[in-house]
Chains A and B, each alone.
Chain A
Amino acid sequence: MMPLRVHGFNSQKLIVAIPWLWLAVFFVLPFLFILKISLSEPQLAMPPYQDWVREFEDGLLTISLNFGNYILLFEDDLYLHALLGSLKIAGISTLICILIGYPMAYAIARAPGHLRMPFLMLIILPFWTSFLLRVYAWIGILKDNGLLNQLLISIGLIDNPLQILHTPIAVYIGVVYSYLPFFVLPLYATLVRLDNTLLEAAADLGAQPLRQFLTITLPQSIPGIAAGGMLVFIPAMGEFVIPDLLGGPDTLMLGKLMWTEFFNNKDWPVASSLAAVLLVILIVPFVLFRHFEQKANEEDK
């Protein structure tokens, strides 16, 4: 039944071992270095951190852990505001993605069979063009003399241009725009597999379409909403490009702050401790994502 299994022990082991080792070395092991550097002291050299273990001339070894970086994160309001800012922007953007993406995924799932593939392609297609350039497109649309303001002024809705670029609104637009396809795809996969017999039964029993939707379709599609929502929420928490290009100086987010600490302040230990905090925060949504993704896939089998 499983052809490669009979091939013997070794090739099977190798097939599992190669990707396993690659990911262990280049994906998991680096997290330990984040933890290590986050507990070290900064210094003006390259690399800009001190080792924990230092050997003195008399052969004495000392190990010094520096928890100062974490204490700083709690004491300085800046970091707390960045964390709250990230949570707020990622959370609200996820909700907007659900509001816009659910009807889209639902429409595609209800469309006649031969239209579903083209409709889906249209969702995926923007994803194949550069993310950076798609975010850049919004600068031209949202800036003071940009397309949106020109349009609103020309139809007489406003007299003076609205300041949208470099405000939180621009960041919401950017995040929703960039991550919408990630929400629509898993939700579509869930919706298209739903059992229609339940809906037919409900209709036969006289349930109105809205009631059918609320009592049958919506509850059944929750794994898809959750999986898609996490695909928006988790990357948005660490987003750097969007707040940097579309946000203003007061748009505080963890990803942007990490970038500044690392590249501008050359403070690797503080950047690492920020990364460690972000990682810990993301464990819960990640576990939820795995859970709902598996749940959504199980129904397939």
Chain B
Amino acid sequence: MRDFISRNPLLFIFLIAGYAFLYLPIFSLIIYSFNESRLVTVWGGFSTKWYGELLDNAPLLNAAWLSIKIGALNATLAVILGTLAALALVRFRKSRGHKSLGVMVTAPLVMPEIIIGLSLLLLFVALEDLTGWPAGRGQTTILIAHATFSMAYVTVIVQSRLAHMDPSIEEAALDLGARPVRVFFTVTLPMIAPALAAGWLLAFTLSVDDLVIASFVSGPGSTTLPMVVYSSVRLGVSPQINALASVIIAVVSLAVVIASVIMYRSEKAAARS
């Protein structure tokens, strides 16, 4: 570390300044969530009262619960679809539809959310008109919309894991007479499990965080957390939102710490064996 700094002092300063830019706004959110004053950025003494008010905010808690539910379902669906897409892209390069699948899977990564949201809403309205399904819009339509764009992220993660996997273990299992399905579940799946876990978490986060797409494809009675936050934030800063942000940051940081410890331990165990 010291060696790196002394060789590239300017680069290091740039890096630290970049991190400050990324993190200072987040720290400011946390600090002012403990502010007594309603004026958010004017310090009025330490207080945890906004956390208490957060717990009494029924619409916000309901929306949070709905978001978590949709997020978990979405993540599971996206991992299944994304893993299939990754397998198709890495393993079946010669099959029909390989090229078009590659394009279709990359496009949602960069497509502006507002286009995905509007186009899916138009599809759902037209489908309902033609077939009666989906009857109205709500959880199901949000779930479909979220799975469609978050599976693309899962595909990228699983794809790189599959591409860097040593094929000889699978080959050995096949040579020993294991059926391909069995090889997939006993050899391939455990080897790509970390990628699946990372993909699941990312898909969950993307879903819980999405405002724009959900606003288009949700219906009455299915208000997600970002929609509640957005309508509150539009009216200006509010200490309750700061408290909510701090809770989310705490949960995410905890998850990251736990994940790193698990990864560190499994790497150590792998190194020992």
Contact = CB atoms under 8 A, between A and B. Distances in A.
Chains A and B come from one and the same complex: yes
Interface of A: 1-7, 11-13, 15-20, 22-24, 26-31, 33-34, 36-37, 47, 100-101, 103-104, 106-108, 110-112, 115, 119, 121-123, 125-126, 128-134, 136-141, 143, 145-147, 150, 177, 180-181, 230-231, 234-235, 237-241, 244-245, 255, 258-259, 262-263, 268, 271-272, 275, 278-279, 282, 286, 289-290, 293
Interface in B166-206: 167, 170-171, 173-174, 179-181, 183-184, 188, 205
Interface of B: 1, 3-4, 8, 11-12, 14-15, 18-19, 21-23, 25-26, 28-29, 32, 39-42, 81-82, 84-85, 87-88, 91-92, 95-98, 100-101, 103-116, 118-120, 122-123, 125-126, 129, 144-145, 147-148, 151, 155, 167, 170-171, 173-174, 179-181, 183-184, 188, 205, 208-209, 211-212, 215-216, 226, 229-230, 233-234, 236-237, 241-242, 244-245, 248-249, 252, 256, 260
Contact of A133 (B19, B85, B212, B244): B244
B104 A28 contact: yes
B4 A3 contact: no
Contacts of B95: 12-13, 16
Contacts of B180: 3-4, 6-7, 11
A142 to B, nearest CB: 10
B91 A107 contact: no
11 contacts: A3-B180, A16-B101, A19-B105, A26-B120, A107-B8, A107-B15, A108-B15, A119-B15, A234-B111, A279-B115, A282-B110
Contact of B25 (A7, A31, A137): A137
A104 B148 contact: no
B243 to A, nearest CB: 11
Nearest to A285: B110
Nearest to B205: A128
B104 A240 contact: no
Contacts of B111: 234-235, 238, 282
Contacts of A4: 87, 91-92, 180, 184
A110 B119 contact: no
A129 B201 CA distance: 12
Chain A contact residues, majority secondary structure: helix
* Interface of B, helix, strand, loop or mixed by DSSP: helix
Contact of B29 (A100, A133, A238): A133
A77 to B, nearest CB: 22
A140 B237 contact: yes
Contacts of B205: 128
A263 B234 CA distance: 15
Contacts of A16: 88, 92, 95-98, 101
Given A15-B84, A143-B41, A235-B112, A34 B19 contact: no
Contacts of B129: 47
B167 A1 contact: yes
Contacts of A289: 106, 110
Contact of A177 (B3, B25, B105, B145): B25
Contact of B26 (A126, A239, A244): A126
Contacts of B151: 19, 22-23
